[in-house]
Structure 1
């Protein structure tokens, strides 16, 4: 499977939670190394530079990611929040976050792994307590477990992203219809 990070969920904290793919099946871990965690922080646009992560930073990030996923799922389903997940996310959010600085060339944000993770946790707190929380949806692809923000008209979006899931499902349905027509004829 591709180790490139994708950002299709409409919010950095949701994209962070989606770094364990295909949770219902085998599960595919994107944070396989400190370098992959750092690549996510940079790719997300939350920071412009991050000091190198260590294995302990990856362990902490994975724990916070799993707590975020539990909180997003609970909010989406209207279920109570897990106390342990709340405590872990709030603890991460209490740490100093990445602080953008203004330079002659524009904004520049340098962070430690802890500060970058705090920024993700703070964004999740804002999302879960803000006006966009009712827009949380899970991808309609049975193999995908990404939670995304549905800002479509009438909240009719079904996929986390057309390229990542929508096209796959639509192509499979098309092939199934064609096969059914061939078999019937």
Structure 2
């Protein structure tokens, strides 16, 4: 499996919602093939193995992902939940989740596609009904639409991750200051 999914949001439901990147601009889809969905489930750590996805599973997952994103956005903005998004997430959460098993070598969680998706939906339900709601923030990079949990001291974190958006924004601000300084010196 290809290990290039990113998990920086602080909750599997937030990371799942972030698999459609740059929603306001370029819209970069991470689930372009069924094996990319399989990889996300395993790389996220919610399961250790998952039955191979079909295109229908990708469609179901992206429907749940978009509903999760709408609910996260509503909660973050203090708006009412969308009824359709609630129904989609609750329907997914109502199904049996992935169940960990104890083996001789430790914990192992094998899941079907629906069990893995149910596990993600349950993470969304717990997050959006729990004490971490005030910590929800959208990345300060105008091109990024990741929502993350700000657990920094004083809740002053501005971007989803320093390695991605933070460095890019800081470097751009530095270059802009340098250009302004050079223009003023001339």
Tell me whether the two structures share a fold, i.e. TM-score over 0.5: yes
Deviations 1:73-129 (A, max 9, x none): 000000000000000000000111000001111110000111000000001100001
- Supply the distance in 1 between the matched residues of 2:155 and 2:86 (Cα, whole angstroms): 27
Partner residue, 1:113: 113
Q: Does 1:156 align with 2:156?
A: yes
Q: How far apart in 1 are the matches of 2:148 and 2:107?
A: 27
Q: Secondary structure at the match of 2:109?
A: strand
Shift of 1:20: 0.3
* 1:93 matched to 2:98: no
Report runs of 4+ in structure 1 exceeding 3 Å deviation.
Answer: none
| Aligned-partner Cα distance in 1 for 2:154–2:83 | 33
How well do the aligned residues superpose, as a CA RMSD in angstroms? 0.8
Report 1:108-147 matches (<5 A).
108-147=108-147
Residue of structure 1 in register with 2:56 after alignment: 56
1:19-67 deviation digits (Å, cap 9, x = unpaired)? 0000001200000010000000000000000010000000000000000
The answer for unaligned runs of 5 or more in structure 1 is none
Does the alignment pair 1:81 with 2:85? Answer: no
Matched with 1:39 is 39
Aligned length: 183
TM-score (norm 2): 0.97
> Which stretches in structure 2 are left out of the alignment for 5+ residues?
none
